[in-house]
């Protein structure tokens, strides 16, 4: 497969995936959420609500058709050498247009809910179950101790790199394709040489912190089915910790391969690369399935509740996508769309996580450009 063919297939595939992700947004929202707004099931079945959904689906599909035609026209009319930046620009435009469509639907849903004149919910009561907290803490500490292994490996990789630094060639690999062949190079310097080991350490610390936050975050339970709810939560946390462990070890394995390949000047063994990438995909699939099972099995009453926890109150959400509550100590809360958690951007720790993530992304871009 040529690079041109691969680029075309990647862009078309990305175009289709973006459309599928956005068109399914209303169907992958949490049980109480409609277009990013907390709304009980009965009010989602009215003609007004269905009209908002229909408008969202139509405009999302129109956006997909237009951008697909733009991509096809570009591939036919523009020389091959100019494809990549222009195709990337179309995908960016497509994403922005999808968010515009979603933003319009969000505003319509918010106005619709306001027109219903529903009673405002009050804050919920906090129950402290020390035995349950001890159970969660016991599980958390087991997996946090296991995360010391990739942390130590990251430190070893850094020491190993520095020890062999003078023996390394002037051009070192920065990227490998799916079969383990080198397809990106950079001039040797301390920053580029230590990037894999530094990434291993940083990712381990970030996921260790995520593990902490997941185990410490609030759990919504029904008093009528308290024990069943606690059982579901503990099972969910165990599987969450396991998937995080698999993901971190898979990334660590990839970084080990990159370091040893860099020092030895050889390509990665294909089977080694396949196993590492496969483990990453496996962990992502397990995360999604675990979140789905959790939301399906967790017992709590949807109807006629007199209170909502803060993360389910509309005032603390920006467009139904970003949780912003400076008074909430929780760093991670359940997402309103899709599966998993999102960061409380109103908290200091949440802002710190976002800053570190942005610095890592910028560092990766700079690293790959050398």
Give residue-wise pLDDT tens across range 187-207: 778 888 888 898 899 899 888
Specify the pLDDT at position 307: 46
Specify the pLDDT at position 311: 61
Contacts for 175-182 with beta carbons within 8 Å, 24 or more apart? Answer: 175/368, 176/257, 176/258, 176/261, 176/267, 176/268, 176/273, 178/273, 178/274, 178/277, 179/270, 179/273, 180/257, 180/267, 180/268, 180/269, 180/270, 180/272, 180/273, 181/267, 181/268, 182/261, 182/267
Specify the pLDDT at position 58: 92
Average pLDDT, stretch 121-143?
A: 71
Confidence of residue 168 (pLDDT cuts 50, 70, 90): confident
Confidence of residue 303 (pLDDT cuts 50, 70, 90): very low
Confidence of residue 302 (pLDDT cuts 50, 70, 90): very low
Q: Does the pLDDT value for residue 151 go beyond 90?
A: yes
Q: How many percent of the chain have pLDDT more than 90?
A: 12
More confident of the two residues 74 and 235:
235
Average pLDDT, stretch 109-138?
A: 72
Q: Does the pLDDT value for residue 242 go beyond 70?
A: yes
Alpha-carbon distance 324 to 345, whole Å? 5
Alpha-carbon distance 370 to 368, whole Å? 6
Specify the pLDDT at position 324: 80
Which token pair is 228?
């069943």
Q: Does the pLDDT value for residue 9 go beyond 80?
A: no
Q: Does the pLDDT value for residue 367 go beyond 60?
A: no
- Residue 25 to residues 21, 245, 264: CA-CA distances in angstroms? 6, 28, 47
Q: How many percent of the chain have pLDDT more than 70?
A: 74
Average pLDDT, the chain: 78
Residue 157 near residue 253 (C-beta atoms within 8 A): no
Phi-psi region of 306 (alpha: psi -120 to 50; beta: other; left: phi over 0): alpha
Specify the pLDDT at position 219: 64
Confidence of residue 72 (pLDDT cuts 50, 70, 90): confident
Specify the pLDDT at position 204: 92
More confident of the two residues 194 and 174:
194
Q: Is the dihedral of CA 275, 281, 286, 287 positive or negative?
A: positive
Residue 29, SS3 per DSSP? strand
């Amino acid at each position: 497969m040529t690079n041109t063919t691969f680029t075309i297939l990647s862009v078309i595939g990305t175009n289709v995936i973006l459309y599928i992700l956005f068109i399914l947004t209303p169907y992958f929202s949490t049980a109480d959420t409609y277009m990013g707004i907390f709304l009980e099931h009965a009010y989602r079945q009215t003609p007004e609500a269905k009209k908002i959904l229909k408008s969202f689906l139509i405009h999302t599909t129109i956006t997909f058709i237009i951008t697909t035609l733009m991509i096809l026209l570009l591939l036919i009319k523009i020389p091959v050498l100019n494809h990549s930046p222009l195709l990337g620009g179309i995908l960016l435009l497509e994403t922005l247009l999808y968010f515009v469509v979603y933003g319009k639907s969000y505003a319509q849903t918010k106005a619709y809910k306001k027109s219903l004149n529903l009673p405002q919910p009050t804050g919920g009561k906090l129950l402290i179950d020390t035995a349950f907290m001890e159970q969660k803490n016991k599980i958390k500490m087991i997996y946090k101790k296991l995360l010391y292994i990739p942390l130590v490996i990251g430190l070893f990789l850094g020491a190993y790199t520095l020890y062999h630094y003078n023996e390394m060639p002037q051009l070192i690999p920065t990227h490998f394709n799916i079969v383990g062949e080198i397809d990106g190079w950079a001039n040797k310097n301390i920053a580029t040489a230590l990037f894999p080991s530094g990434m291993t350490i940083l990712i381990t610390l970030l996921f260790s912190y995520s593990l902490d936050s997941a185990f410490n975050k609030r759990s919504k339970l029904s008093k009528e089915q308290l024990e069943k709810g606690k059982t579901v939560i503990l099972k969910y946390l165990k599987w969450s910790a396991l998937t995080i462990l698999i993901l971190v070890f898979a990334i660590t394995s990839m970084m080990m391969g990159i370091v040893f390949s860099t020092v030895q000047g050889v390509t990665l063994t294909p089977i080694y690369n396949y196993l590492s990438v496969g483990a990453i995909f496996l962990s992502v699939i397990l995360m999604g399935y675990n979140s789905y099972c959790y939301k399906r099995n967790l017992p709590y009453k949807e109807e006629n509740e007199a209170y909502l926890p803060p993360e389910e109150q509309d005032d603390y959400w920006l467009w139904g996508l970003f949780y912003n509550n400076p008074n909430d100590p929780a760093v991670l809360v359940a997402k309103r769309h899709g599966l998993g958690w999102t960061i409380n951007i109103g908290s200091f720790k949440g802002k710190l996580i976002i800053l570190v993530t942005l610095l890592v992304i910028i560092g990766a871009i700079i690293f790959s450009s050398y």
